[in-house]
Amino acid sequence: MSETEGKTPAEVLEAALAAWREALGEAHVILEPEALEAAQTATFATTQRIPAILRPADTVQVQACLRIAQAHGVPVYPVSGGRNWGYGSRVPSGDGSVLLDLGRMNRVLEHDEQLAYLTVEPGVTFRQAHAWLREKNSSTFITTIGGSPDASLVGNALERGDGRGPNADIFQHVCALEVVLPTGEVVRTGHARFPGAHAAPVFRWGLGPVLDGLFSQSSLGVVTRMTFWLSRKQPYLREFFCAVNDDAHLWSAVDRLQALALDGTLKGSFFFWNDLKAFSVTQQYPYASVGRTPLPDWARDQFREGFGRWAISGALSAPDAEIGALLERRLAAALDGAFQGVPTEANLAMTYWRKRTPQPEAPDPDRDRCGFIWCSVAVPFTSAHAKRGVEIADRVPRLFGLEPNLALLAHSPRCLYLVTALAYDRDVRGEDARAQACYRALTQELAQAGYFLTRAGLQAQELSPPVPDATTELVRTLKTVLDPWGILAPERSEN
């Protein structure tokens, strides 16, 4: 770090910027105030400042960026699509971090139709991947997400996001990561580290310790390549929807559908939505008829007349109609009465729930000062646990004048995600602080009940509960070894 000796912080940054300009080209080291301001804006209050944005074109340039950062002691924070709305968008975890924007790295590198995989760079979005597979007339598809179609495949997988349909646990269905360490060195996981290994894109474990998980929800490296396992389109596809007006029936349905997921009748993800979540997707807050917040019970009751207290939705797929009909009968008995990879912006309507202006044709919750925070916790897939978690998530937002927008996502046959969306208007004075206080109270009460976060965005910093074993110390040790100067995403929580 001799290059920093005797220099002021401003001189250190300027020296690093000069080196980055040489490595990337003048046009890809961005200092314009408007661009920096946009990158510093999220769907909740943040204070971090970004001095510059770097836009590398390939892995070699990412290596150069990190080596320069290390030489000058200037922290960098990597983002892929920058659409991590509700968790911090593209705002760095630490103040003064230069944004390493991987959006230019948007190539589809490899596709195999028979083995059903797609290898991409971090700038490839769900919308782009869908269009690319459609253009190839592929019979395969990649799962979609509830967030923006312009979100990064790699970024979502690394944050362990959840999808719709098959392979909903996205990170469980990836392999062959290429990672640039903070030192600028490159590692490849699984068999990808062996030159010419034919099984690299189809065999996750490789030989020896499995490293993939080290780079998920962490600041231990920058992923520049990843292989996704695709699903095959099924000839038989039927979406289902069931309205539930009685809570007792809902909890009974949770157990019955869990049994169908475990025996393979329901192979993909499915969802339990409460009325407020459905309300916020179909329209904005009814200020004209209500006039105040939070939403009164009578307005909620009016919407329920066409929806119910809860709705259960998902899809059945099968290789032929005969098997599909059998699955339908099993599902109908259990219930008493966009699942093939097409990305959609429908769920983004939730972020505009409390805004008084209409959602624009090209939604951007950061730009439009939508207030939005996700709280997602893992819950065992039983009615008892689902009921207990929902009772907490339904009660706490009301204490802070927010609507309890709730969903239970069938993440696997054994685990549900209980997802609470806190939607508000950042243009209303004091709402940022109120929403943050609500998030803190909600996560703390859920944790006390034994339900812990699955994703921790910027809003969760310093909220991680104490860990009594050696996990935290082990992660710190790995961070020190892999990032000796602490230049990659400093202050990111990795508990």
* CATH number of domain containing 172: 3.30.465.10
Provide the number of structural domains found in the chain.
3
> In terms of domains, do 127 and 51 share one?
no
Confidence tier at 464 by pLDDT (50, 70, 90): confident
Sign of the dihedral through C-alpha 67, 69, 73, 79:
negative
Beta strand pairing status for 231-232 and 415-425? unpaired
pTM: 0.92
Residue 474: inside a domain: no
Share of the chain above pLDDT 90, in %: 75
Residue 39: how many other CB atoms lie within 10 Å: 24
β partners of residue 141:
231
Same domain, 221 and 249: no
Q: Identify the DSSP state of 345.
A: -
Examine the domain organization and report whether 330 and 432 are in the same domain: yes
- Between the alpha carbon of residue 483 and those of residues 79, 225, 493, the distances in Å are 18, 20, 15
Question: How confident is the model over 216-246, as pLDDT tens digits?
Answer: 999 999 999 999 999 998 888 788 888 898 8
In angstroms, the CA 425 to CA 365 distance is: 10
- Could you say which of 185, 201, 232 is where a domain stops? 232
CATH code for the domain in which residue 429 is found: 3.40.462.10
Residue 174 backbone dihedrals phi, psi, to 5 degrees: -130, 160
Taking only the tens place, the pLDDT of each residue in 136-177 is 999 999 988 888 999 999 999 999 998 887 888 999 999 999
pLDDT for position 86 = 93
Q: Residue-wise over 155-188: b if at least 16 C-beta within 10 A, else e?
A: bbbbbbbbbbbbbbbbbebbbbbbbbbbbbebbb
Q: Which tokens in the block code for residue 414? A: 């054994």
Cβ–Cβ < 8 Å for 256, 326? no
Tens-place pLDDT, residues 333-379 = 776 644 445 677 778 899 999 999 999 999 999 999 999 999 999 99
Tell me, yes or no, whether 212 and 271 share the same domain.
Answer: no
Q: Are residues 37 and 174 in the same domain?
A: no
* pLDDT tens digits, 96-143: 999 999 999 999 999 999 999 999 999 999 999 999 999 999 999 998
Among the listed residues 58, 167, 66, the one whose alpha carbon sits nearest the alpha carbon of residue 109: 58
pLDDT reading at 495 higher than 60: no
Nearest-angstrom CA–CA distance, 458 and 462 = 9
- 492 in a domain, yes or no? no
Please check whether residues 60 and 129 belong to one and the same domain.
no
CB-side neighbour CA atoms (13 Å) of 485: 19
Can you say whether the dihedral through the CA atoms of 132, 138, 142, 148 is positive or negative?
A: positive
Measured CA to CA, the distance from residue 282 to residue 343 in angstroms comes to 17
| CATH code at position 69 | 3.30.43.10
Question: In this model, does residue 3 exceed pLDDT 70?
Answer: no
In a domain, 488, yes or no: no
- Does 318 lie in the same domain as 178? no
DSSP character string of 234-251: PSEEEEEEEEE--HHHHH
* Strands 271-274, 310-318: pairing kind: antiparallel
- Its domain, for residue 91, covers 2-101
Any residues with CB less than 8 A from the CB of 91 and at least 6 apart, and which?
39, 40, 41, 42, 46, 48, 50, 458
* Same domain, yes or no: 26 and 117: no
Same domain membership, residue 248 and residue 202: no
Reported confidence tier of residue 62, pLDDT bands at 50, 70, 90: very high
In a domain, 308, yes or no: yes
Q: How far apart are CA 233 and CA 230, in angstroms?
A: 10
Closest Cα partner for 422 from 441, 449, 448? 441
Within this chain, do residues 210 and 252 fall inside the same structural domain, yes or no? no
Among 187, 217, 232, residue at a domain's last position: 232
SS3 228: strand
Tell the burial category of 261 from Cβ atoms under 10 Å away from its Cβ (0-12, 13-18, 19+).
buried
Mean pLDDT of the chain: 92
491 falls within a domain: no
If asked whether residues 228 and 291 sit together in one domain, one would say no
Nearest partner of 419 among 271, 306, 286, judged by Cα: 271
* Contacts with 57 (C-beta within 8 Å, 6 or more apart), sequence order: 24, 28, 104, 105
Tell me what pLDDT residue 339 has: 41
pLDDT band at 426 (very low <50, low <70, confident <90, very high): very high
Does residue 250 fall inside a structural domain?
Answer: yes
Q: Residue 2 pLDDT > 80, yes or no?
A: no
Residue-wise pLDDT for 239-267, tens only, equals 888 889 888 899 999 999 999 999 988 88
Domain annotation covers residue 208? yes
Domain boundary among 101, 121, 145: 101
Examine residue 334 and state whether it is found in any structural domain, yes or no: yes
Residue 342 is predicted with a pLDDT of 64
- Based on the fold, state whether residues 242 and 195 are members of the same structural domain: no
